[in-house]
């Protein structure tokens, strides 16, 4: 076990080929190398929670959101610069969101968002995200808009749109795939033309999605289950788990995951047949998993299935 001593409770981890950016529950950020050594000290560049982030070779891009203050923004921080603490919450409360002084510390650009942001992801060297009931947006690393599309809806599902948010946008083998919490799927081709619109029947809401060309689609559910789909038109295979799953990755014909007091894996044959399912108890909550290492909610880096 490696005790990183973060000084905060981690909620998410972003990774590139040389660095990790660990995100705390209250907007804390810290950079580590892949040996889990601190590159610099923890900072809180902005006084609101970080919803999500993506990491490139030279910048980290994050979304900050505070529902009480109705403040949402996306900004980029340079990885080669030490990040510092930003303004306090009182200053944010007393000033307009678009005041030029109101910006995350060290940010090289920011954009104020006009609706609730979700599903931020990296596609090649660009950034894609959704704004609730506004649209799907792709921007470049400098924050310049490349394109926007209408916000997708699935009225056939029969629930209010604000209860069926976009949870993931991923580039698959044949286009961009947009997933909603209630099982709505929209696939766009390279020209952003609609290829197909699907609804999959699930007993629980989707919270996150992972994709690998050999492993297919791995769906994390709100409750104690996961689902696997090899191809988008397939019927999902649903597996009960000891608790919610927080993160997963595919390697050597296996989906490996970590989550609420358990780790698990599913082995898949070259033909896509499920060969083995297993899970093991852990004493804490796994937040992020990669290369058989798990960071838990205490800020410790443990072996997978420890």
Residue pLDDT, tens place only, 241-272 = 999 999 999 999 999 999 999 999 999 887 77
Overall domain count for the chain: 2
The yes-or-no verdict on residue 173 having pLDDT over 90 is: no
Out of 85, 113, 141, pick the residue that ends a domain: 113
DSSP state letter for 89: H
CA neighbours within 13 Å on the CB side: how many for 190?
3
Span 85-96, mean pLDDT? 91
DSSP state letter for 235: P
Give the strand order in the sheet containing 10-15.
10-15, 19-24, 29-33
CATH of the domain at 39: 2.40.10.360
Q: How far apart, in whole angstroms, are the C-alpha atoms of residue 173 and residue 264?
A: 26
In the chain, pLDDT over 90 holds for what percent of residues?
A: 81
> Quick check: is 122 in a domain?
no
Out of 113, 147, 173, pick the residue that ends a domain: 113
- Determine the structural domain holding residue 92 and report its residue range: 1-113
SS3 171: strand
SS3 21: strand
Give the model's confidence band at 190: pLDDT under 50 very low, under 70 low, under 90 confident, else very high.
confident
Which residues does residue 157 pair with via DSSP β-bridges, in sequence order?
none
> Quick check: is 131 in a domain?
no
As a whole number, the mean pLDDT across the chain is 93
> Quick check: is 26 in a domain?
yes
Give the model's confidence band at 139: pLDDT under 50 very low, under 70 low, under 90 confident, else very high.
very high
User: What is the structure's pLDDT at 269?
Assistant: 82
The yes-or-no verdict on residue 279 having pLDDT over 90 is: yes
> Quick check: is 192 in a domain?
no
User: What is the structure's pLDDT at 45?
Assistant: 98
- Give the tens place of pLDDT for each residue, 195-248: 999 999 998 999 999 999 999 999 999 999 999 999 999 999 999 999 999 999
The yes-or-no verdict on residue 306 having pLDDT over 80 is: no
> Quick check: is 165 in a domain?
no
> Quick check: is 190 in a domain?
no
Q: Residue 91 belongs to what H/E stretch?
A: helix 89-94
> Quick check: is 273 in a domain?
yes
Out of 113, 136, 161, pick the residue that ends a domain: 113
In the chain, pLDDT over 70 holds for what percent of residues?
A: 98
């Amino acid at each position: 076990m490696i005790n990183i001593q973060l000084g905060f409770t981690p909620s998410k981890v972003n990774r590139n080929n040389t660095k990790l950016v660990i995100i705390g529950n209250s907007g804390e950020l810290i950079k580590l190398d892949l040996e889990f050594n601190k590159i610099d000290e923890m900072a809180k560049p902005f006084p609101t929670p970080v919803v999500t982030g993506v990491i490139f070779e030279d910048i980290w891009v994050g979304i900050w959101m505070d529902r009480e203050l109705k403040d949402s923004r996306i900004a980029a921080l340079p990885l080669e610069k030490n990040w510092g603490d930003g303004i306090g919450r009182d200053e944010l409360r007393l000033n307009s969101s678009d005041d030029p002084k109101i910006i995350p510390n060290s940010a090289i650009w920011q954009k104020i968002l006009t609706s609730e942001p979700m599903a931020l992801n990296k596609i090649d060297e660009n950034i894609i995200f959704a704004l609730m009931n506004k649209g799907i947006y792709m921007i470049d690393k400098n924050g310049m808009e490349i394109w926007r599309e209408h916000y997708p809806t699935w009225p056939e599902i029969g629930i209010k749109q604000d209860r069926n948010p976009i949870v993931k946008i991923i580039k698959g083998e044949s286009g961009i795939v947009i997933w909603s919490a209630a099982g709505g799927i929209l696939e766009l081709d390279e020209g952003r033309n609609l290829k197909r619109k699907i609804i999959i029947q699930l007993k629980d809401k989707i919270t996150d999605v992972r994709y690998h060309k050999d492993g297919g689609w791995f769906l994390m559910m709100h409750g104690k289950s996961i689902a696997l789909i090899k191809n988008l038109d397939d019927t999902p295979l649903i597996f009960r788990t000891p608790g919610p799953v927080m993160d997963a990755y595919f390697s050597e014909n296996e989906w490996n995951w970590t989550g609420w007091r358990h780790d698990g894996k599913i082995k898949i044959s070259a033909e896509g047949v499920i060969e083995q399912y297993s899970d093991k108890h852990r004493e804490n909550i796994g937040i992020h998993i990669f290369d058989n290492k798990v960071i838990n909610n205490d800020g410790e880096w443990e072996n997978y299935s420890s």
